[in-house]
Chain A
Amino acid sequence: MHVVIVGAGEVGRAIAANLESSHDVVVIDQDGDIVDELTYSLDVLAIEGDGTEIATLQEAGVEEAGLVIACTDDDETNVVVCGAAKTKSDVFTIARVRRRTLLETWEGSQGAFGVDFMVCTDLLTAQTIFRISGLPSAQDVDMFAGGLVRMAEFEITSESPVAGLSVQEADRYDSLTFAGIFRDDEMVVAKGDSVMQAGDRVVVIGSPDSVSGFGDDIVTRTSNGLEEVVIVGASEIGFQAAREFEEHGYRPRLIEQDHDRAREVAEALPNTIVMESDATDTEFLAREHVDEADIVIAALDGDEKNLLVSLLAKRLGVDRTVAIIENLEYAELFETVGIDVAVNPREETAEEIVRFTRADYTEKVAMLEHDRAEVIEIEIGEDSALQGGTIAEATADLPEGVVIGAISRGGDLVTPRGTTVIEPGDHVVVFVDANVLDEVIEAI
């Protein structure tokens, strides 16, 4: 595939390096020195120019390209690049943004700005922080089909009414499909006779109401306030991380030194306790018992400050520290001196985009349990293996490990059962075992 990458910063470079062997990659950057250097260091075509201009994009061959990736450090530039590319061809566009509001606008109306896939660096980093924090996920939630379909993962406790029931017996929730069951390190695709046991994590797909109704029924919050999360610094990443923890049922504490910023984030985060203080003030840390925290996340602006805060937290006796490191070269060094995990936002972004190029027909992907299964949204084409017959017939041809979770047809939600017929143009939300993912995507 012909791939055009606009912006050769750390993100663009990492993506180019990853794709150079399997695809024809053209990189556009405004800086002549970088272009020269790139020409020799990577097996790609590097062009000097402004990616927002049609002439430059045409020179890079946007008409025959299958993918345009806009990943400069400027949100507006990236969005304009995608919009400009769309005027010349129906190429798939990916934009990297920092601001979450842009992402929210885009999520509200997919395809907005001419962007087909948007990656929000700060949000992605925040999600990574949450994922690697190693705390049990009370609720992993994702939306599909423009908010029509919701996917969630719930832990089944022994008091839960569905514990010990088979999927068939538990199937009494309207417009809700049981997709998969995670048991310890094992993943079971939900069949009629699969039994849900206490301690399992079950993945359900359905309408937002049915999913939250199911959640109300079975969930006794796993995070009963025992897990103490402290985030230092209300930078955009710190803020998004706090929000991520909030959304999963935690009540994190966020320490911010700046008065106005503290107030601002406190207004936006109802379930976070925001403290206005210097995080290196040991008296304050002792009074608030920060030493008893299970995890401290350093999200200040500046790698050195994050190192200092993390080391201080370690010395106080905090179990686990995570630091945001902008400079890739520091990451390893920091981990050597005692920080548990260093997270680099640019690296995360590059990884996400690369991961996305793998399945270019999927519209949305959610990864579950460290990528042991994925939930993807696909628009059904004329040649899809799913269309034309009933679901029972169609899935018989597919490998094991696929569950059709929900169907969105013309803006309405259709609950899939064995006799449902899928039509071309439907958007289907599918739960797929990661092992058979490539095979399945190929078929549908």
Chain B
Amino acid sequence: MKFTDVYLQTATKILVFIIMTFSIYVLFAGHNNPGGGFIGGLITASALVLLYIAFDLQTVQEVFPVDYKKLAATGVLVSVLTGVGSLVLGVPFLSQTFKYVELPFLGNTELTTAMIFDLGVYMCVVGTTMTIITSISEDDI
């Protein structure tokens, strides 16, 4: 099925970037404010779904060649390995720590290990959601 809806495609090209940016914002906001890896991941997935609706499966796969199953697995690995880090240090599993660091452009920023965990969740959610959606939509009847 070839979609040629010009409005949708043109709007998508702009909207995807806005949605993606927002999802990254939500991901980073998640430590002390509403947001986090799960919601950020879902928002990213919705951007990708929009791409799939506007263009077809093959085109998006060419532009964005990611194996979603592997992305999800990487996400879980990242999350669990953050916990394993605390095993190495001899503190209880999943212990977290944070530090305020002076970064260029950003100023005084709070860096936490929970952020890495959230990043894993983010990747896992994007991977899982997209695996579900692409595997349902691959059959066309």
Question: Does A associate with B in a complex?
Answer: no
Residue positions of B touching A, CB distance < 8 A: none
On A, residues with C-beta under 8 Å from B are none
